[in-house]
Amino acid sequence: MTSTERTFNTFHDKPVDCLPVQPIVMTYAGRWAGIPYGEYAKDHRKMVEAQLRMVEDFGFDIIQLISDPAREAADCGATVKWFHDQPPAIDEENALLAEKSTLLKLKQPDPLGGGRMHDRVLGAAYAREKVGDAVPVLGWIEGPVAQSSDLRGINRVMLDFLDDPAFVVDLFEFVTEMEIAFAKAQIRAGAQIIGIGDAAASLINDSLYREFALPYERREVEAIREMGAYTRLHICGNATHHLEAMRALGVDMVDIDCLTDISQVRAKMGEDVTVMGNIDPVSVLKNGTPEDVWKCMEECHRVVGKKFIVGPGCEVAPGTPEENLRVLMEYARSYS
């Protein structure tokens, strides 16, 4: 069974030969392949080659076009700080939308316009060229809270929810239109799954999430589904208070961060969603023993039950022992 068949069968609750394994590997992949992360984030060919190493050397069931959340913001004109072997970062002190009025003049970036978004689109095409239909290619976009935080600055956005909700709506409208266009370009290039990262959404309360974030996340999900691709949601941090609302999104897969109570996922999100996670990527996967990794992964699987994908609660940390990472594959193959 190919990785693509294994993944999509899991989404549809059909038989598989073993559990799919899809940990988020970005900085780890770059270092494993000997590629400085600044180059990994700038050059889609190096990113895909590093991801192929993860598939070939560890047997993972995904090619992930994820590097950093600054692609869309950079193409909008935001200042990005670059480092040799660390992820690029938004210069929040000089955020593009520090002045709200700038939004009125901001134009939608072209995802095929030669910028950083285009590089990811080229990555989708390059990945499909390399793996064909054997391994699923995961594209990536940002959710409304995360992308708005990149453009406006996270502290300003958190105040905007209370001080100027009308501006938040205008900002989310702009962001959502941009992200849907970005998803469309990646799907046309070869991505079969689109991940949605809305990390900052975990920082707002349930009321604000339902009023502001949920409608726009759902719009992204529905648009991606209409384009014929699957959806995968990742919210960093503790999103336990959002699980019930997240059910309305109808995502195919959700990555559960280690800070979120995974025991509530089935009760709150239902039986239809595929779940990955959520062992702690630092205290267990990086700093624990292989026995710790197996035991914690087994407990996550027991709690989630069917439609389960093996992986930690967030990105695999650099310095994670190889033997610990291989336990994920060993565990997955033990359940055929």
pLDDT digits (tens, 9 = 90+) for 72-109: 999 999 999 999 999 999 998 999 999 999 999 999 99
Of the CA atoms within 13 Å of residue 202, those in its CB half-sphere come to 17
- Asked if 146 contacts 69 with a C-beta cutoff of 8 angstroms, the reply is yes
Judge contact between 237 and 259, C-beta under 8 A. yes
How does DSSP classify residue 107?
Answer: P
Which amino acid, residue 255? D
Q: What would the two tokens of residue 241 be?
A: 């208070």
d(CA 330, CA 313): 18
128-173 confidence digits (pLDDT tens): 999 999 999 999 999 999 999 999 999 999 999 999 999 999 999 9
Task: Say whether 198 sits in a helix, a strand or coil.
Answer: coil
> In Å, what is the CA distance from 285 to each residue of 23, 70, 105, 242, 322?
11, 27, 46, 26, 10
The 8 Å CB, 24+ separation contacts for 170-174 are: 170/103, 171/97, 171/103, 172/144, 172/148, 172/212, 172/216, 173/216, 174/103, 174/106, 174/108
CA distances to 14, 82, 94, 277 from 32, rounded to whole Å, are 33, 20, 34, 22
- Cβ atoms of 285 and 262 closer than 8 Å: no
Q: What is the pLDDT of residues 3-56, one digit of tens each?
A: 999 999 999 999 999 999 999 999 999 999 999 999 999 999 999 999 999 999
How does pLDDT run across 197-253, given as a tens digit for each residue? 999 999 999 999 999 999 999 999 999 999 999 999 999 999 999 999 999 999 999
H helices present in 202-321, as ranges: 206-208, 214-226, 243-246, 265-269, 290-304
CA distance 202 to 145: 9
pLDDT at residue 115 above 80? yes
pLDDT at 121: 98
Widest CA span in the chain: 57
Q: What is the rounded distance in angstroms from the CA atom of residue 17 to the CA atom of residue 335?
A: 8
Give the chain's mean pLDDT: 97
Record the tokens describing residue 41, joined without a space: 């984030």
How much is the pLDDT for 202? 97
What CA–CA distance (Å, rounded) separates 51 from 270? Answer: 32
pLDDT confidence of residue 261:
97
Identify the pLDDT of residue 252. Answer: 98
135 closest CA partner among 71, 53, 255: 53
The answer to whether 79 touches 44, Cβ cutoff 8 Å, is no
Give the model's confidence band at 335: pLDDT under 50 very low, under 70 low, under 90 confident, else very high: confident
Q: For residue 331, is pLDDT > 90?
A: yes
Crossing angle of helices 144-152 and 214-226, in 10° steps, is 110
Domains for the chain: give ranges and CATH numbers: 24-263 (3.20.20.210)
